[in-house]
Amino acid sequence: MPNLSGIFRRSKKAEMKKIVKVKAEGSYGKTYLKAMPLRGLSDLDTIKNDVTSGNIVILRVTPLANKSIEDVKRAVNELCEFAESISGDIARLGEERIVICPSKVRIWREKTPISNKPIPTAA
């Protein structure tokens, strides 16, 4: 009877490579960057689902700000709590945009050096 141990080893190794590849693709699928307006508090569920799916979302808050500043504050507070709960990241981009990232993405923030020199002012 021929020695079949080499055949079984190869197939087991090939199977393990296949499993590792599937796991890697599943946990690190494609990440999309989505830009969308925030028109109402009802949009928050869609935004949370997108970020939970691994996508980065850039929100323009102007449409909601034109209706209610209080709703913008509520939405931003809820999104901050959400980002913290999933170990994600959130930051402001200028005056009218916010970016929300999933846990595998970090937002770079420039750290300003602290100086003991007085800040010059216009005379």
Task: Encode pLDDT of 76-110 as tens digits.
Answer: 999 999 999 999 999 999 999 999 999 999 999 88
Residue 2 lies in a domain: no
Of 11-15, 30-34, 51-55, minimum mean pLDDT range: 11-15
- Whether the CB-CB separation of 52 and 86 falls below 8 Å is answered with yes
Dihedral (Cα; 26, 108, 70, 35), 10-degree rounding: -50
For position 22, what pLDDT does the model report?
43
Residue 97 lies in a domain: yes
pTM to 2 decimal places: 0.67
Number of compact structural domains in the chain: 1
Residue 112 lies in a domain: no
For position 14, what pLDDT does the model report?
52
Q: Which residue has the higher pLDDT, 24 or 42?
A: 42
What CATH number should be reported for the domain holding residue 41? 3.30.110.150
Q: Judging by DSSP bridges, how do beta strands 97-101 and 56-60 pair with one another?
A: antiparallel
Average pLDDT over residues 10-15: 51
Residues spanned by the domain of 33: 29-101
pLDDT at 4 over 60: no
Residue 67 lies in a domain: yes
Residue 115 lies in a domain: no
Residue 96 lies in a domain: yes
Residue 73 lies in a domain: yes
